[in-house]
């Protein structure tokens, strides 16, 4: 177990020491103080100053689909490059991709854990390398649980109020009807935070939760600009430069090339055959392109707009 610092006077020491911050100290995140049940103590590993930057939470399913794998960096890369800190829970799936997309865009990210933040109890354990990368890059990993604390079925849902509480809004990317990310969305509403959601196919189990919260008032988004305009933030010229976004652009270029060569409308199966891209990836990208109005679907065929 790593040494716990008793006070904030050690800020000048190595970034990888574990700091203990009480709610009465000025270093405690100001936005988090505003919720009705803030944790009395936060354990922090990394850059303490990142806790009071303008931040957005990005959450979603652990069982991420090809659509989610494209949508997450598509949204997060530009948010991060535009100066917003990305907060998530470092779980498998959307959370992990959100942290990585922020780092790839050269931005800051904070992981809120439902366990201790020492190397022994960080969960999931196979994201230990990601935790170290977050710290090295100027971000932080935090928890209300002391080092040595293992997760329970209750600790993970409980930490979701911290994810939303430190953020001005919550972005939900892929969530089924019983997803833990919907708990975060409900916390956000209780805390008077904004809720944004990426729509998905009506036939996808992974999108039932997001589609439902859109019906209940969450703002439908398909681009980072849809969120940035809410906060009067201009998208950075660096936007889309992350590896996830670049990979998505290459796929889109292949699809548009096939459409431009087609004589009229063309089916998804034909786009898959001519582009040489995996079927799941093409189908996921077609949904995003249709939402962004880059292409139009007429019956079972597509045409560029």
pLDDT value, residue 100: 97
Q: Is residue 237 part of a domain?
A: no
In a domain, 178, yes or no: yes
* Residue 173 and residue 117 in one domain: yes
Residues 213 and 268 in one domain: no
Residue that is last in its domain, among 226, 256, 280: 226
**Measured distance CA(123)–CA(118) in Å, rounded:** 10
145/3 Cα distance (integer angstroms): 14
Q: Do 88 and 211 fall within a single domain?
A: yes
Please list the residues that pair with 303 across neighbouring strands. Answer: 296
Answer yes or no: is 152 within a domain. yes
For 67, the domain range is 4-226
User: Quick one: 83 and 149 in the same domain?
Assistant: yes
* 56: β partners: 86, 169
Q: What is the domain count for the chain?
A: 2
Domain with residue 174: its CATH number is: 3.40.50.450
Co-location of 149 and 53 in the same domain: yes
Beta-sheet pairing, 109-112 with 140-143: parallel
- Domain end (from 201, 226, 251): 226
pTM for the model: 0.78
State in Å, rounded, how far the first CA of the chain is from the last one: 58
CATH number of the domain to which 252 belongs: 1.10.10.10
Classify residue 231: in a domain, yes or no: no
Q: Which of 199, 226, 253 is where one domain is finished?
A: 226
Q: Are residues 146 and 190 in the same domain?
A: yes
Residue 135, domain member (yes or no): yes
In tens digits, what is the pLDDT along the chain, a chain of 305 residues? 333 333 332 333 345 789 999 999 999 999 999 999 999 999 999 999 999 999 999 999 999 999 999 999 999 999 999 999 999 999 999 999 999 999 999 999 999 999 999 999 999 999 999 999 999 999 999 999 999 999 999 999 999 999 999 999 999 999 988 888 999 999 999 999 999 999 988 888 889 999 999 999 999 999 999 999 988 887 765 443 333 334 446 888 889 888 888 877 899 899 998 988 888 788 878 877 877 778 888 888 888 88
């Amino acid at each position: 177990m790593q040494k716990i610092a008793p006070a904030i006077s050690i800020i000048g020491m190595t970034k990888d020491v574990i700091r203990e911050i009480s709610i009465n100290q000025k270093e405690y995140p100001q936005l988090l103080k505003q919720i009705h049940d803030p944790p009395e103590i936060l354990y922090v590993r990394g850059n303490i100053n990142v806790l009071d930057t303008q931040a957005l939470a990005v959450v979603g399913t652990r069982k991420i689909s090809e659509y989610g794998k494209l949508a997450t960096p598509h949204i997060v890369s530009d948010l991060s490059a535009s100066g917003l800190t990305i907060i998530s829970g470092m779980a498998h799936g959307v959370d992990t991709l959100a942290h990585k997309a922020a780092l790839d865009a050269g931005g800051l990210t904070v992981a809120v854990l439902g366990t201790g933040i020492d190397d022994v109890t960080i969960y999931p354990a196979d994201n230990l390398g990601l935790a170290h990368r977050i710290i090295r890059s100027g971000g932080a990993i935090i928890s209300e649980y002391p080092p040595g604390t293992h997760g329970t079925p209750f600790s993970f849902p409980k930490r979701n109020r911290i994810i939303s509480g430190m953020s001005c809004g919550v972005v939900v990317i892929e969530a089924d009807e019983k997803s833990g990310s919907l708990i975060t969305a409900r916390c956000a509403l209780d805390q008077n935070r904004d809720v944004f959601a990426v729509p998905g196919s009506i036939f996808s189990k992974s999108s039932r939760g997001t589609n439902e919260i859109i019906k209940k008032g969450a703002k439908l988004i398909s681009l980072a600009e849809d969120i940035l305009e809410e906060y009067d933030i201009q998208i950075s010229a660096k936007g889309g430069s992350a590896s996830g976004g670049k990979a998505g652009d290459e796929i889109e270029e292949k699809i548009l090339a096939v459409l431009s060569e087609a004589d009229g409308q063309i089916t998804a199966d034909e786009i898959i055959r001519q582009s040489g891209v995996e079927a799941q990836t093409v189908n996921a990208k077609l949904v995003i392109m249709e939402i962004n109005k880059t292409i139009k679907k007429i019956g079972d065929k597509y045409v560029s707009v």
